């Protein structure tokens, strides 16, 4: 089954064509980082306008790369939740128009379910059930993946997402947007033990919840007290801040993997591109005896191949969306019970 995937929930306009939820024929991403960089974050109205300009060229490019026509597509999968409402609507209306014109089946995909599907495109995907650590710009969740399209969120962040902690930290340090990439780069040459950050929600919390706002506040206090450092000191501060974020993510993940008795753990979402997190989780897995699966960095950040892969499993189950499919800007994953 050949699926066309469309993603426009935030600041990437992406289209991809994937066969049988496994074989990527085309994977096109138009990023808007330059549009938002000077604001230090995504400006929703500017994002909507950029999506409108990019969406048709991106779909055309994907079809061209795959060497097929719309008529040769078997289904259309689109991110319809959660995300920024204007940007979501651009992808959704485009997908609906294509479904209407071609008569092909349409499904809506939850963006986080899409992130979790990125690793299914790899040669050695995790078996079911497994644990997923989903870390993006807007979400931080631990999810029990019982099957494709059957997920249960065990816990999420109470305040900022891990990506937000990176982005807000980078903004504070004047590093631009998206901040995670900049902090990751600087951290490579820094000393992670140089600055001590409070351990966010350690012994007190044994659940699967996260909190990152305290960390961001301590960075703010540090900068107020010492100013923004330069050179090696900046690299040290970035390395320490990154280590504090990674430490919480790794500790919670290993605790919940143990509690749920899951021996396979995947990490996905933009922050899964972080070199410190990738290394930290692999080390924890080697120590605790769980296997770690992480998509390549380009499939951690927003793309449409993951949306096509997730949609494939829903189409396979016979799911079909009508042309009344709506964009839902905030939609949590299913919780237990």
- Per CB under 5 A, the list member of 302, 309, 311, 327 interacting with Zn ion is 302
Minimum gap (Å) between residue 321 Cβ and ligand KG4:
21
Minimum gap (Å) between residue 156 Cβ and Zn ion:
14
Minimum gap (Å) between residue 204 Cβ and ligand KG4:
26
For ligand KG4, which stretch binds (CB under 6 A), given 21-29, 132-140, 146-154, 191-199?
132-140
- Per CB under 6 A, the list member of 163, 169, 280, 311 interacting with ligand KG4 is 163
For ligand KG4, which stretch binds (CB under 6 A), given 86-94, 145-153, 173-181, 219-227?
173-181
3-state SS record for the chain: CEEEEEECCCCEEEEEEEECCCEEEEEEEEECHHHHHCCCCCCHHHHHHHHHHHHHHHHHHHHHHHCCCHHHCCEEEEEEECCCHHHHHHHHHHHHHHHHHHCCCEEEEEHHHHHHHHHHHCCCCCCCCEEEEEECCCCEEEEEEEECCEEEEEEEECCCCHHHHHHHHHHHCCCCCCHHHHHHHHHCCCCCCCCCCCCCCCCCCCCCCECCHHHHHHHHHHHHHHCCCCHHHHHHHHHHHHHHHHHHHHHHHHHHHHHCCCCEEEEECHHHHCHHHHHHHHHHHHHHCCEEECCCHHHHCCCCHHHHHHHHHHHHCCCCCCCCCCCCCCCCCCCCC
89 is a contact residue toward ligand KG4 (CB under 6 A): no
Q: Which is nearer to ligand KG4, 21 or 269 (CB)?
A: 269
User: What residues are paired with 277 via a beta bridge?
Assistant: none
Minimum gap (Å) between residue 304 Cβ and ligand KG4:
12
91 is a contact residue toward ligand KG4 (CB under 6 A): no
Count of residues in contact with ligand KG4, rule CB under 6 A: 19
For Zn ion, which stretch binds (CB under 5 A), given 35-43, 100-108, 300-308, 316-324?
300-308
For ligand KG4, which stretch binds (CB under 6 A), given 93-101, 119-127, 174-182, 287-295?
174-182
166 is a contact residue toward ligand KG4 (CB under 6 A): yes
271 is a contact residue toward ligand KG4 (CB under 6 A): yes
Note the residues at the interface with Zn ion (CB under 5 A): 136, 302
Note the residues at the interface with ligand KG4 (CB under 6 A): 10, 136-138, 163, 166-167, 178-181, 184, 269-271, 273-274, 301-302
């Amino acid at each position: 089954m050949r699926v066309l995937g469309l993603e426009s929930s935030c600041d990437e306009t992406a289209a991809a064509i994937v066969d049988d939820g496994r074989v990527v024929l085309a994977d096109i991403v138009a990023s808007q980082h330059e549009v938002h960089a000077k604001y230090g974050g995504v400006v929703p109205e500017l994002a909507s306008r950029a999506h409108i300009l990019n969406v048709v060229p991106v779909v055309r490019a994907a079809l061209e790369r795959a060497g097929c026509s719309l008529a040769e597509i078997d289904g259309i999968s689109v991110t319809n939740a959660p995300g920024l409402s204007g940007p979501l609507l651009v992808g959704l209306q485009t997908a609906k128009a294509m479904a209407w014109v071609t008569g092909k089946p349409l499904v809506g995909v939850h963006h986080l379910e899409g992130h979790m599907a990125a690793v299914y495109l790899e040669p050695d995907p995790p078996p079911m059930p497994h644990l997923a650590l989903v870390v993006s710009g807007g979400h931080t969740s631990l999810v029990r993946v019982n099957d494709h399209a059957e997920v249960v969120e065990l816990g999420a962040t109470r305040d900022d997402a891990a990506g937000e902690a990176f982005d807000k930290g980078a903004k504070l340090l004047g590093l631009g947007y998206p901040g995670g990439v900049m902090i990751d780069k600087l951290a490579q040459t820094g000393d992670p033990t140089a600055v001590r950050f409070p351990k966010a929600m350690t012994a007190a919390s044994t659940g699967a919840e996260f909190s990152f706002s305290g960390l961001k506040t301590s960075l703010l206090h540090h900068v107020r007290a010492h100013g923004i450092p330069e050179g090696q000191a900046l690299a040290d501060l970035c390395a320490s801040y990154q280590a504090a974020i990674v430490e919480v993510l790794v500790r919670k993940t290993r605790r919940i993997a143990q509690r749920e008795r899951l021996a396979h753990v995947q990490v996905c979402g933009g922050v899964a591109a972080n070199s410190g997190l990738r290394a930290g989780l692999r080390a924890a897995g080697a120590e605790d005896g769980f296997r770690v699966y992480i998509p390549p960095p380009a499939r951690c950040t927003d793309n449409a191949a993951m949306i096509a892969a997730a949609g494939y499993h829903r189409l396979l189950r016979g799911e079909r969306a009508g042309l009344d499919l709506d964009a839902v800007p905030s939609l949590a994953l299913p919780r237990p019970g």
